[in-house]
């Protein structure tokens, strides 16, 4: 099965050196053909491997291309310049300047600020819940849980990670919204808290998995040294293992943050989708991602609104790009720290 | 601190971390219980094989199941060769400490972190507006046929999204193939490509399968990337060509949950749809988990 098809008469070594008779398949050219075939295959494999790089580049270029009219097209620029998107605007004479997202009206108002505020509110709620729970659960799994329990916990949380986000959005909309409204008496049923809690369900597995990996990467010798010095198990866990794994845990938080910003279906279904600029968590909110999802279907192709929705996509892409870079830097630091410790 | 207070603090903190773990698992249980309880009653064979009727308040979800399956199949056909070959490059061909391999890895990590809605925009901007329109100009005399949302564009968009899943699990599978096998094959005179095709890849097959299944599970559940690239709320016919639009379980869930004219009437159907979607993704994830743990056991005993 493994044997390659040998070139004829190749078993006799000197043949490779002798000039072949005319018409016969020369071993030399057979070898050369084989080498060329190998080189061609390697070339194809390498070329295919570039798809990943091409995909990232194409995503940036093509999402950016549709957003470009903001800078280049004067009519689009008039409606959606950077000052209109990021600074308060006077809508009507005599009224105070305000941030408004009202893309479909006689005078479209395309301020990003309500969307930023909405995204931040949902993210704050989600991270406030998911970060402590995710890290604590990871600490419990790696440091305290008996082995059998660990074998149950990890697949359990992986299952939570496997739930499609549209199902979490559905759960937020149908179940959590009702519970939280009866618990806190929100005036609007769907709001930043409901979306944040539902989002936390998606973020806990991210924080858990990455921190758990970081905690397990801490060498046994750390724990043994700490225990041998008379520290208890919790002291070892909180004062030795957790600080040692800190870069990895930070990476977990950063990745969780990135997930919050980009997640779409949960906020689209559970946030209420009203673009209100307020710091009250009980108000309905509209996030960046949900805005794209909700409005792209009804937008006029090529108009200012269309370009701005793609511009939001560029923002989301850049945010997560930066956050991924930060997380990767933390992970590199963890690896360096751990490999230095093992030596 | 006295021994007693150290014990107390320690016990308290351990209990707190345990409570956090219990909370996460508890919420999973609540979701499963709620969906199971709400969806079980409406679930039947009839529900799985018939089309929606009476404005989604009657009938089943067959077109959504069919559309999800077809789209995922197309996606798998597109993503599997590219993902596997990329992993083969990274693990078998790239020289150690290769710049290019490092760049590919960084790109794949970043791709995995791109928000799913941005993939939707990409699908619209690249596949539909750029590739589709170009095909219209070249093949269809400028008339609109390819440059609009379609099954194939949604499948390709999701193929890009699931590429990192396939690459990461294939690479893990390649890593589990013992080096000795490669050396033995090369020593017998097989070329590099022959070794990869006939020794390494067959050995890594279970791991590649795991990657494919995980990608399918992920692709079947994602809704945001297909919103503008091919999904439709209701279609009277099943999709016949890759250029048709299609119905999808996840999108069906979204529409039933948010845009129903009669919430109470659609509620049982909504729950049953979610139940089908959850069972589908969990079954796929479960199969992948089983294959993976079995291969890991074998790799451990082999080395």
In chain A, what is the straight-line distance between the N-terminal and C-terminal CA atoms, in Å? Answer: 43
For residues A25, A29, A32 and A37, what is the CA-based torsion angle, rounded to 10 degrees?
A: -40
For residues A47 and B85, the answer to whether their CB atoms sit within 8 Å is no
Interface mutation vs chain B, best among A6, A45, A195, most B CBs within 10 Å: A45
CA distance B31 to B122: 32
For B129, other C-beta atoms within 10 Å of its C-beta total 17
Residue B147: the pLDDT is 87
**Per-residue confidence band for A343, with pLDDT thresholds at 50, 70 and 90:** very low
CA distance A318 to A324: 10
For residues B207, B212, B217 and B219, what is the CA-based torsion angle, rounded to 10 degrees?
A: 150
Query: Average pLDDT in the A286-294 region?
Result: 93
Q: Is residue B269 part of a domain?
A: yes
CA distance A92 to chain B (A): 34
Query: Average pLDDT in the B72-92 region?
Result: 95
Domain boundaries, chain A: 13-49, 112-342
CA distance A53 to chain B (A): 5
Query: Average pLDDT in the A240-260 region?
Result: 94
User: Who contacts B300 (Cβ-Cβ below 8 Å, separation ≥6)?
Assistant: none
Query: Average pLDDT in the B157-169 region?
Result: 95
Q: Is the pLDDT of residue B299 over 50?
A: yes
Pick from B6, B27, B250: CB nearest A164: B250
CA distance A91 to chain B (A): 30
Helix A288-295 × helix A113-139 angle, to 10°: 120
- For B135-171, give one letter per residue: b (16+ CB within 10 A) or e: ebeeeeeeeeebbbbbbbbbbbbbbbbbbbbbbbbbb
Pick from B115, B189, B278: CB nearest A163: B278
* Side-chain-side CA neighbours of residue B221 (13 Å): 30
User: When comparing pLDDT for A50 and A88, which is higher?
Assistant: A50
Pick from A164, A204, A268: CB nearest B222: A164
Pick from B30, B108, B191: CB nearest A52: B108
DSSP state of B222: -
Q: Is residue B31 part of a domain?
A: no
Q: Is the pLDDT of residue A7 over 50?
A: no
Question: Do the chains contact at A139 and B89, CB–CB below 8 Å?
Answer: no
Pick from B190, B270, B278: CB nearest A2: B190
DSSP per-residue string spanning A164-222: -HHHHHHHIIIIIHHHHHHHH--SSSS-HHHHHHHHHHHHHHHHHHHHHHHHHHS-HHH
Q: Is residue B15 part of a domain?
A: no
Q: Return the CATH number at B149.
A: 1.10.3720.10
Question: Do the chains contact at A48 and B85, CB–CB below 8 Å?
Answer: yes
Query: Average pLDDT in the A136-151 region?
Result: 92
Express each pLDDT in B242-288 by its tens digit.
Answer: 899 999 999 999 999 988 877 788 888 999 999 999 999 999 988 88
CA distance B153 to B55: 27
CA distance B181 to A220: 32
Question: Do the chains contact at A174 and B103, CB–CB below 8 Å?
Answer: no
Q: Is residue B21 part of a domain?
A: no
Domain that residue B183 falls in: 41-302
Q: What angle do CA A304, A309, A313 make, to 5 degrees?
A: 140
For residues A125 and A199, the answer to whether their CB atoms sit within 8 Å is yes
Domains of chain B: total: 1
Interface mutation vs chain A, best among B144, B224, B263, most A CBs within 10 Å: B224
Q: Is the pLDDT of residue A130 over 90?
A: yes
Q: What is the ipTM of this complex?
A: 0.91
Residue B113: closest CA among B149, B164, B156: B164
CA distance A126 to B144: 43
In B, which residues are within 8 Å of A293 by CB distance?
117, 120, 224, 227
Residue A11: the pLDDT is 45
Q: Is the pLDDT of residue A197 over 90?
A: yes
Question: Do the chains contact at A324 and B278, CB–CB below 8 Å?
Answer: no
CA distance B98 to B112: 21
CA distance B40 to B48: 13
CA distance A122 to A169: 13
Query: Average pLDDT in the A34-54 region?
Result: 93
User: B188: nearest CA in chain A?
Assistant: A3
CA distance B268 to chain A (A): 12
Question: Do the chains contact at B104 and A233, CB–CB below 8 Å?
Answer: no
Pick from B6, B217, B274: CB nearest A170: B274
In A, which residues are within 8 Å of B194 by CB distance?
2, 4
User: Who contacts B147 (Cβ-Cβ below 8 Å, separation ≥6)?
Assistant: B128, B129, B132, B133, B135, B136
Task: Give the residues across from A272 on adjacent strands.
Answer: A285
Express each pLDDT in B180-220 by its tens digit.
Answer: 999 999 999 999 999 999 999 999 998 899 889 999 999 99
For residues B38, B41, B45 and B50, what is the CA-based torsion angle, rounded to 10 degrees?
A: -70
For residues B72 and B196, the answer to whether their CB atoms sit within 8 Å is no
Residue corresponding to tokens 């004067």: A74
User: When comparing pLDDT for B2 and B47, which is higher?
Assistant: B47
Instruction: Tally A–B CB contacts below 8 A.
Output: 281
User: B279: nearest CA in chain A?
Assistant: A163
For domain A112-342, give the CATH number.
Answer: 1.10.3720.10
In B, which residues are within 8 Å of A155 by CB distance?
289
Q: Is the pLDDT of residue A1 over 50?
A: no
CA distance B123 to B152: 11
Query: Average pLDDT in the B60-88 region?
Result: 94
Q: Is the dihedral of CA B131, B135, B137, B142 positive or negative?
A: negative
In B, which residues are within 8 Å of A258 by CB distance?
113
CA distance A101 to chain B (A): 20
CA distance A28 to chain B (A): 16
For residues B221, A274, B121 and B234, what is the CA-based torsion angle, rounded to 10 degrees?
A: 50
Task: Give the residues across from A58 on adjacent strands.
Answer: none
- For A17-30, give one letter per residue: b (16+ CB within 10 A) or e: eeeeeeeeebbeeb
Q: Is residue B149 part of a domain?
A: yes
Pick from B34, B111, B191: CB nearest A52: B111
Q: Is residue B155 part of a domain?
A: yes
């Amino acid at each position: 099965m493994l044997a390659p098809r040998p070139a004829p008469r190749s078993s006799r070594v000197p043949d490779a050196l002798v000039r072949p008779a005319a018409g016969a398949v020369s071993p030399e050219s057979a070898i050369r053909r084989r080498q060329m075939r190998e080189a061609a295959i390697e070339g194809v494999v390498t070329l295919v491997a570039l798809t990943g790089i091409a995909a990232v580049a194409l995503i940036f270029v093509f999402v950016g291309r549709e957003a470009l009219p903001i800078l280049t097209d004067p009519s689009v620029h008039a409606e959606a310049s950077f000052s209109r998107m990021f600074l308060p605007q006077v809508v009507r004479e005599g009224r105070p300047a305000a941030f408004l997202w009202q893309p479909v009206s006689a005078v479209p108002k395309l301020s990003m600020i309500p969307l930023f505020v909405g995204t931040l509110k949902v993210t704050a709620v989600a991270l406030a819940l998911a970060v402590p729970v995710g890290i604590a659960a990871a600490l419990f799994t790696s440091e305290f849980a008996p082995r059998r329990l660990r074998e149950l916990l990890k697949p359990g949380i992986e299952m939570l990670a496997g739930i499609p986000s549209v199902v979490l959005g559905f759960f937020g909309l149908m179940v959590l919204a009702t519970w939280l409204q009866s618990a806190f008496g929100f005036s609007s049923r769907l709001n930043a808290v409901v979306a944040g809690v539902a989002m936390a369900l998606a973020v806990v597995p991210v924080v858990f998995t990455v921190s758990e990996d970081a905690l397990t990467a801490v060498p046994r010798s750390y724990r043994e040294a700490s225990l041998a010095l008379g520290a208890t198990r919790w002291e070892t866990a909180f004062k030795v293992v957790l600080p040692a794994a800190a870069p990895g845990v930070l990476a977990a938080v950063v990745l969780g943050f990135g997930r919050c910003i980009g997640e779409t279906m949960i906020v689209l279904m559970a946030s209420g989708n009203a673009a209100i600029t307020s710091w009250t968590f009980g108000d309905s909110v509209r996030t960046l991602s949900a805005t794209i999802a909700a409005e792209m279907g009804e937008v006029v192709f090529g108009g200012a609104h269309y370009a701005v929705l793609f511009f939001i996509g560029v923002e989301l892409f850049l945010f997560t790009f930066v956050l991924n870079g930060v997380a990767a830097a933390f992970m590199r630091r963890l690896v360096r720290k751990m490999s230095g410790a093992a030596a | 601190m006295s021994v007693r207070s150290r014990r107390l603090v320690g016990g308290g903190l351990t209990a707190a971390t345990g409570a956090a773990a219990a909370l996460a698992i508890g919420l999973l249980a609540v979701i499963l219980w709620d969906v199971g309880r709400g969806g079980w009653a409406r679930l039947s064979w009839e529900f799985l094989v018939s089309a929606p009727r009476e404005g989604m308040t009657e009938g089943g979800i067959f077109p959504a199941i069919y559309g999800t399956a077809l789209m995922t199949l197309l996606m798998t056909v597109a993503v599997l060769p590219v993902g596997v070959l990329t992993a083969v490059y990274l693990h078998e061909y790239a020289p150690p400490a290769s710049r290019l391999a490092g760049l590919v890895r960084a790109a794949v990590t970043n791709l995995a972190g791109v928000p799913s809605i941005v993939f939707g925009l990409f699908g619209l901007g690249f596949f539909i507006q750029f590739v589709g329109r170009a095909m219209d100009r070249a093949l269809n005399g400028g008339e609109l046929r390819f440059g609009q949302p379609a099954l194939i564009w949604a499948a390709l968009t999701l193929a890009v999204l699931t590429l990192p899943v396939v690459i990461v699990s294939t690479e893990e599978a390649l890593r589990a193939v013992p080096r000795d096998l490669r050396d033995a094959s090369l020593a017998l005179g097989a070329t590099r490509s022959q070794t990869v095709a006939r020794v390494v890849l067959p050995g890594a097959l279970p791991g590649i399968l795991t990657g494919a299944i995980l990608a399918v599970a992920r692709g079947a559940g994602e809704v945001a990337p297909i919103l503008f690239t091919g999904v439709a709320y209701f279609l009277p016919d099943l999709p016949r060509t890759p250029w048709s639009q299609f119905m999808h379980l996840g999108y069906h869930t979204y529409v039933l949950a948010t845009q129903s004219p009669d919430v109470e009437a659609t509620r049982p159907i909504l729950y049953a749809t979610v139940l089908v979607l959850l069972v589908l993704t969990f079954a796929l994830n479960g199969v992948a988990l089983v294959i993976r743990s079995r291969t890991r056991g074998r790799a451990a005993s082999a080395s």
